[in-house]
């Protein structure tokens, strides 16, 4: 029933697709459970900015509550999967999962990763990044433990590790039979306190005419097994539109001062290799010395450890 109610008009979906074709930017939002995601941000990025936007829910919420009936565990996971898909049809995002099971509350993210099987779930996150190819990853939670569900912290830890690995050809090479390595440019944490960047989301979706707050509320109301299927969720989405983003890590272009032998053919080959490998511009060659381009993952000067969103 909720799937049918969530379907947008076909004409609106086509118009949104046409608008999205004009934009190349893409964002992957990562958290642990259905309902952890920032639906207002997803609606704004997907429908307001026309970015390719997706939510990776590490679990399907199998261990959560169900106010609609007696189904739990796997059956609840199926229901909450459908709720997330219905939510994305409203806010315009895409939806990904990993194989991780929501086994209930966990105090410690290390316990969570042990139960999940860290390497397997990490490989799933890397696969999602290589499949969706986001420019930016946004985590809902901090990688620093404390004050929230172990699943939440684990989702951020996995996102950060996958950020470092997805562009590495030595990481999960079996995936590279069908996928290419992909290196996002930066990973941010989405909070509500101080952050490197603050964003206030207002305005309306130009296709439907609905405000982003209304869209987000309708999207969130798809979480019916958790009791969000009422208009209170819509009203609750309004007024919660100021968000902060703290830089966790970013890709930084650096230049080595390497001696390069003379010879135009050699220099041209170096240029091609550097450009193809890193998608960055190369410094022009000097008579006897040029700068080779390479990339490194660098920690930013600031990491807002205290900016932790409230757990759900
Ligand atoms: Zn959660």
CA of 31 from ligand 1 middle (Å) equals 7
CA of 266 from ligand 1 middle (Å) equals 53
CA–CA separation, 289 and 292 (whole Å):
10
**C-beta pairs of 279-285 under 8 Å, 24+ apart in sequence:** 280/253, 283/255, 285/260
Average pLDDT of the residues of the chain: 80
pLDDT tens digits for range 240-279 = 688 999 999 998 766 555 544 455 554 555 555 555 444 4
CA of 80 from ligand 1 middle (Å) equals 13
pLDDT of amino acid 269: 54
What are the beta bridge partners of residue 244?
Answer: 191, 198
On the CB side of 12, how many CA atoms lie within 13 Å of its CA? 15
Determine contact, residues 248/139, Cβ cutoff 8 Å.
Answer: yes
CA of 262 from ligand 1 middle (Å) equals 58
CA of 290 from ligand 1 middle (Å) equals 50
CA of 310 from ligand 1 middle (Å) equals 10
CA of 153 from ligand 1 middle (Å) equals 10
* Dihedral angle computed from the Cα positions of residues 133, 87, 143 and 132, in that order, rounded to the nearest 10 degrees: -10
The greatest distance separating any two alpha carbons of the chain, rounded to the nearest whole angstrom, comes to 75
Q: Is the pTM of this model over 0.85?
A: no
The contacts of residue 257 (CB under 8 Å, 6+ apart) are 289, 291
CA of 295 from ligand 1 middle (Å) equals 34
CA of 40 from ligand 1 middle (Å) equals 16
CA of 146 from ligand 1 middle (Å) equals 14
pLDDT of amino acid 278: 44
CA of 151 from ligand 1 middle (Å) equals 7
- Please list the ranges in the chain whose pLDDT falls under 50: 1-5, 232-237, 259-261, 266, 276-296, 298-312
Q: Phi/psi at 132 (nearest 5 deg)?
A: -85, -25
Q: Which residues surround ligand 1, an ion (CB under 5 A)?
A: 32-33, 36, 312
pLDDT of amino acid 20: 75
Instruction: Report which secondary-structure segment, H or E, holds 262.
Output: none
pLDDT of amino acid 230: 62
CA of 35 from ligand 1 middle (Å) equals 7
Determine contact, residues 22/50, Cβ cutoff 8 Å.
Answer: yes
User: Residue 15's CB: how many other CB atoms inside 10 A?
Assistant: 14
Strands 136-139 and 52-57 come out as unpaired
Interhelix angle 150-165/118-132, rounded to 10 degrees, is 60
CA of 140 from ligand 1 middle (Å) equals 9
Determine contact, residues 89/83, Cβ cutoff 8 Å.
Answer: no
End-to-end CA distance of the chain: 26
For the chain, the structural domain boundaries read: 2-249, 251-298
**CATH fold for the domain made of 2-249:** Rossmann fold (3.40.50)
CA of 8 from ligand 1 middle (Å) equals 27
pLDDT of amino acid 309: 37
Which pair of tokens denotes residue 187?
Answer: 């990973």
CA–CA separation, 140 and 56 (whole Å):
11
């Amino acid at each position: 029933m909720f799937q049918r109610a969530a379907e947008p008009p076909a004409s609106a979906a086509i118009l949104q697709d046409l608008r999205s074709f004009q934009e190349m930017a893409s964002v992957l939002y990562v958290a642990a459970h259905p309902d952890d995601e920032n639906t207002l941000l997803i609606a704004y990025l997907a429908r307001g900015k026309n970015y390719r936007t997706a939510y990776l829910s590490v679990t399907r919420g199998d261990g959560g509550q169900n106010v609609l009936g007696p189904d739990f565990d796997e059956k609840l996971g199926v229901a909450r999967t459908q709720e997330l898909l219905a939510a994305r049809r409203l806010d315009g995002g895409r939806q990904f999962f990993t194989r991780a099971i929501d086994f209930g509350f966990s105090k410690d993210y290390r316990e969570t990763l042990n139960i999940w099987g860290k390497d397997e779930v990490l490989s799933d996150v890397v696969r999602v990044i290589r499949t969706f190819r986001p420019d930016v990853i946004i985590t809902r939670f901090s990688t620093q433990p404390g004050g929230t569900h172990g699943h939440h912290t684990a989702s951020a830890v996995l996102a950060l590790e996958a950020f470092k690995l997805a562009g590495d050809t030595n990481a999960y090479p079996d995936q590279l039979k069908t996928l290419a390595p992909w290196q996002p440019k930066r990973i941010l944490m989405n909070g509500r306190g101080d952050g490197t960047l603050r964003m206030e989301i207002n305005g309306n979706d130009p296709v439907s005419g609905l405000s982003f707050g209304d869209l987000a509320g309708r999207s969130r109301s798809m979480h019916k097994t958790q009791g969000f299927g009422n208009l209170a969720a819509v009203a609750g989405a309004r007024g919660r539109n100021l968000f902060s983003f703290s830089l966790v890590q970013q890709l930084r272009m650096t230049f080595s001062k390497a001696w390069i032998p003379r010879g135009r053919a050699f220099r041209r080959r170096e240029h091609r290799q550097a450009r193809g490998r890193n998608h960055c511009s190369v410094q022009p060659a000097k008579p006897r010395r040029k700068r080779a381009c390479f990339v490194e993952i660098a920690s930013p000067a600031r990491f807002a450890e205290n900016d932790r969103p409230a757990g759900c």
